[in-house]
Each structure stands twice: as C-alpha cells, then as structure tokens.
Amino acid sequence: MTWINTLTESDARLDRGQPLIMRLIEAVDRLDPERLEQVYNAPLQGNVSIEESLLRAGLADEHQIARAYSDHYLLPIFDPPPEEAPPVDRQVASLLPAQLCREHRIAPLADDGTTLDVAIFSPDSLWLADDLRLLCGRHMRPFFTPLSVIEKLLHLLYPTTPGEAPASWKRDAAAVQGKSPPTLPPTRPLPPLESLGLSPRQRADLSAMLSSPHGLVLFGGPRRSGRSTSLQSCLKFLDKPNVCTIDAQEADRLTVASALRAWLRQDPDVVAVDQIRNGQTAQICVRAALTGHFVLSTLECDDAFSAVSRLAELEVDAGSLAETLQGLVCQRLVRRLCSSCRSPQKAVGRMARRYGLSEGVTVYRPVGCGDCDGTGYRGLLPIFEVIRVDPPFSRLIRQQSSLETLQRGAIAANIPLLPDSMAEAIAAGLTSFEEAMSIPPRRDRRGH
C-alpha cells in the first residue's frame, strides 16, 4: 500500500522530539505556541491521547486535526456535515469486533469484498492494517475522521448493552482460523508473588501493572536470573482462566500473522511469551498488546533501561512501545551470605560510595563454615528493579531517549534501581560486596 510508505517517509521529514499533531499544527501556524507548549509539557492522564488533550484544552478542533493528518499522510478525509447523521452500512459491523473499534477509536465505513474503508482519528491506527486483514480478510483503506463522527458511528454500529463488547470480540475471534500455540504448564511449584523477594514498593508497583486490562509487561535479566520464574508467579497471581503461554522457540517459527491468528482464535485473557529472541517475536508481543491483550514476556538484558534499547534494536516502533508498555521488571541472582559464619566489617572508601552507603556502616563478608561447605554462602538471593511506566516515562520512550536519560527519569521519580536494591541487601547483611560486583553501579555514581 502506498500510504504505508507515506506513513514512514512523512514522519521522517519531521523532528522526533514532539508529538506529530503538535508539529503539524505548528507548521501551519494554527495554534498559539505558548499554549501549545503548556499542553505538551503537561503529563497526560490515563489513556488520554495527545489529540484528545488538545481538544480538551480548546487548542484545536477535531476537524482541524483530521485535516492536518489528511494533508500530512496524503490520505482522504471523512467529515460529513455535523447536522447530518453519518451514513451507516450495518452489515460492515460484523467484520470488526466492537471492543477493538472502541479501544482504538476506529469504525468500518464500507466494504467491497477486498477493501474495507475505515474511519480513524489517530495515525496510530494505521498500524492496525495487518490486524484488520487477519480478522476480516480485507485490505484497509483509512479515512481520517473527526472524533465525534467516529463516536456516532460506533454508537450506530455497535449499540452498547451490558456484556456485549466482550461477547462480540470473543465470537469474532473464534472465527479466525489458525494453529493453536503450545501451552507450557509449570514444571515446579511456583513461589507466590509475596515470596519473590520484592520490596513493599516494588510489590505494589508490580501489582498495579498486573491490574491493567491490556498492555505489555517485560521481565528482564541475564540467563538464569529467575526472570521466567517471576513471570510464572505473576501468571499465578493473575489467576486468569484463559492463559496462552507460547514457547519462544516455537513462536520464532511462527509468522506474526499465524501467531496473531492463533491468539485471536483462543481469545486469551493473558498472553505469555517465554522469551523475546528476535524482532518477529517482539512485534508479536507489541501487536497483541495494541489489539487489547495483556502480554507478559521475558527479555535477556542487563537492566530495565537496556530492555528498552534492546527492543529498539529489534525495530519495535517507539510510539507503539510507549503506548503499550505497562512496566519493566529486571532481576539478578546473587549468593546469600551464610548466617552462621558471616563476619561484620565497616563499609569504607570507594565501595561504600559505589553503592551509596554511608561511610562506616556495618556490612558483612563471607567466612566459611561447615553449614555452608566452607563457601561463606548458602542459597541465592534475587535482586529486583521494578519500573512502572507512567506518562512521563512513556514520553521518554516515545522520544527514543538515551539510557542515561531514562535512568535519570527513574531516579527523579525515586524508583529503586538494581544498584539501590543491591545496597539494601548489603546493608541488611544478606549478601556481600563481592557479590555486588556483578551489578554495575548507577550511572550517576560511576567514576566514584
């Protein structure tokens, strides 16, 4: 489709630091720059888009937004007179699930058997072309449309009654044919969420992430860090009846289309992908989250911030990631000090500064005894970093900020990072400075 090329090329012509609609309207001098800057700097609340924020602030009208996007992407506009009811073909309603249309603010307009005309409000909906083709077997022809017109269309096409939207989504999804992905039952008893070793704040943040009806939560860390165990514990915590767990190697052999087709056929409450190993699997996760699923997956990385850069390397669109990512959980496993023989010492010098410990605070070192076979350690201790993605952090992702900028944003929000959690474990006498060397210090403390 030529408009897909336009989608990529036209965005490349503009600077990336600011939302597209604000740059477009500024370019034609339609808004007051000072008031526009106020909206840009104000954190967006909940799932409110930048377009809706502009409408609520009275800085643009919906017809102006539709015209600006239509001119930019060289796509047609659907904007019937406001005093007239929009033309409706009720037969096209059966082609798309009501829940999908409501969540993404799109509405089917007309169908000729091969092409489906679709009213859209935001250019983010252009990326749904593949999903719509899978659902109804039609190519998508998008029309930029004022939001009020889309809302009228949705009201006429999908009258709201209690429980109807989920039922419609399930019925339509069941009609999609495809191979069912393999399900992996747990092979050993799983620790409850309360026993993973999270701090109270980390546990609260993770619980908040898991309460989202849709989106993406990633569990990162090096190999054998326990990230898969944490994911499975979260599935146990969610306790959903319809969970689809995909083995990473099997998912890598599936195309994006066949994986999406299989998931939509099963209409899962939760989709869990064992590990993101390549760009195709990453796209599967983000696409599933964009279409209303709740997705959990693991990723091999050093910390939460490098997880974002890793997804960028896999060519995941920054805007889609910012829209779907609910949170990042990164962890390491270090050896736990033997409580029978550990020996106290004072934290001094560079090691104290490296982890932000007060000079002279009591810490412990390994000694070795019969209880620990002379190693000084007994068992393993998980060290966590939990970042709940809020609007400011989401904006940093959308702007493709550097690792240092992402970390500064987390530090400014007082989020405990891996080095902070490690420092707490050292101060509590649970592990040693020697074990801490496996975790780099915070970037703002390097060189101390």
Q: Do the beta carbons of residue 298 and residue 274 sit within 8 Å?
A: yes
Buried b (16+ CB within 10 A) or exposed e, 345-371: eebeeebbebbbbeeeeebbebebeee
The mean per-residue pLDDT over the stretch 186-209 comes to: 80
Average pLDDT (156-180) is 45
Confidence (pLDDT) at 77: 94
Nearest C-alpha neighbor of 107 from the set 76, 67, 147, 64: 147
Per 3-state DSSP, the chain is made up of helix, strand and coil in percentages (nearest 5) of 45, 15, 35
100 vs 36 pLDDT, higher one: 100
Range picked from 219-223, 272-276, 443-447 for highest mean pLDDT: 219-223
Q: pLDDT higher for 222 or 48? A: 222
Longest CA–CA span in the chain (Å) reads 86
Residue 58 — very low, low, confident or very high, per pLDDT cuts 50/70/90? confident
For 195-436, the fitting CATH number among 1.10.599.10, 3.40.50.300, 1.20.1730.10, 3.30.470.30 is: 3.40.50.300
Higher pLDDT, 411 or 160: 411
List the Cα angle 199/201/207 in 5-degree steps. Answer: 100
User: Looking at per-residue confidence, does 133 or 297 come out higher?
Assistant: 297
Q: Are strands 270-276 and 343-346 parallel, antiparallel or unpaired?
A: unpaired
Cβ atoms 295, 268 nearer than 8 A: no
pLDDT greater at residue 345 or residue 278: 345
How much is the pLDDT for 254?
Answer: 46
In the predicted model, is pLDDT for residue 139 greater than 50?
yes
Indicate the pLDDT class of residue 2, thresholds 50, 70 and 90.
very low
Q: What is the pLDDT of residues 411-426, one digit of tens each?
A: 888 899 998 999 999 9
337 vs 24, which has greater pLDDT? 337
Mean pLDDT (whole number) for 133-141: 81
Q: Which of 58-72, 180-194, 236-250, 346-360 is predicted with the least confidence, judged by mean pLDDT?
A: 180-194
Every domain range in the chain assigned CATH 3.30.300.160? 2-174
Lookup: tokens for 377: 């350690």
- 311 confidence band (pLDDT: 50, 70, 90): very high
Check pLDDT > 70 for residue 262: no
Which part of the chain is CATH 3.40.50.300?
195-436
Q: How far is Cα 19 from Cα 124, in angstroms, rounded to an integer?
A: 12
**Of the ranges 46-55, 254-263, 280-289, which is most confident?**
280-289
**Helices 279-290, 256-266: inter-axial angle, 10-degree rounding:** 40
pLDDT at 214 over 50: yes
Chain length of the chain: 448
In whole angstroms, give the CA distance from residue 428 to residue 421.
Answer: 11
Q: H or E element: which one contains 153?
A: helix 147-157
Amino acid 51: pLDDT: 77
Average pLDDT over residues 321-347: 93
Closest CA to 296 of 390, 241, 233: 233
Residues 6+ apart with CB under 8 A from 418: 303, 330, 332, 383, 384, 385, 439
CATH topology of domain 2-174: GMP Synthetase; Chain A, domain 3 (3.30.300)
Q: Are 342 and 413 in contact (CB under 8 A)?
A: no
- Alpha-carbon distance of 79 to 76, in angstroms, equals 10
The closest of 55, 60, 77 to 24, measured between CA atoms, is 60
- According to DSSP, the β-strands at 294-300 and 270-276 are parallel
pLDDT number for residue 16: 41
CA–CA separation, 228 and 219 (whole Å): 8
> What pTM was estimated for this model as a whole?
0.59
With bands split at pLDDT 50, 70 and 90, how would you rate the model's confidence at 64? confident
Whether the predicted pLDDT of 385 surpasses 90: yes
Check pLDDT > 60 for residue 170: no
In this prediction, residue 25 carries a pLDDT of 62
Q: Report helix, strand or coil for 84.
A: coil
Residue 216 predicted with pLDDT over 90: yes
Q: 448 pLDDT exceeds 50?
A: no
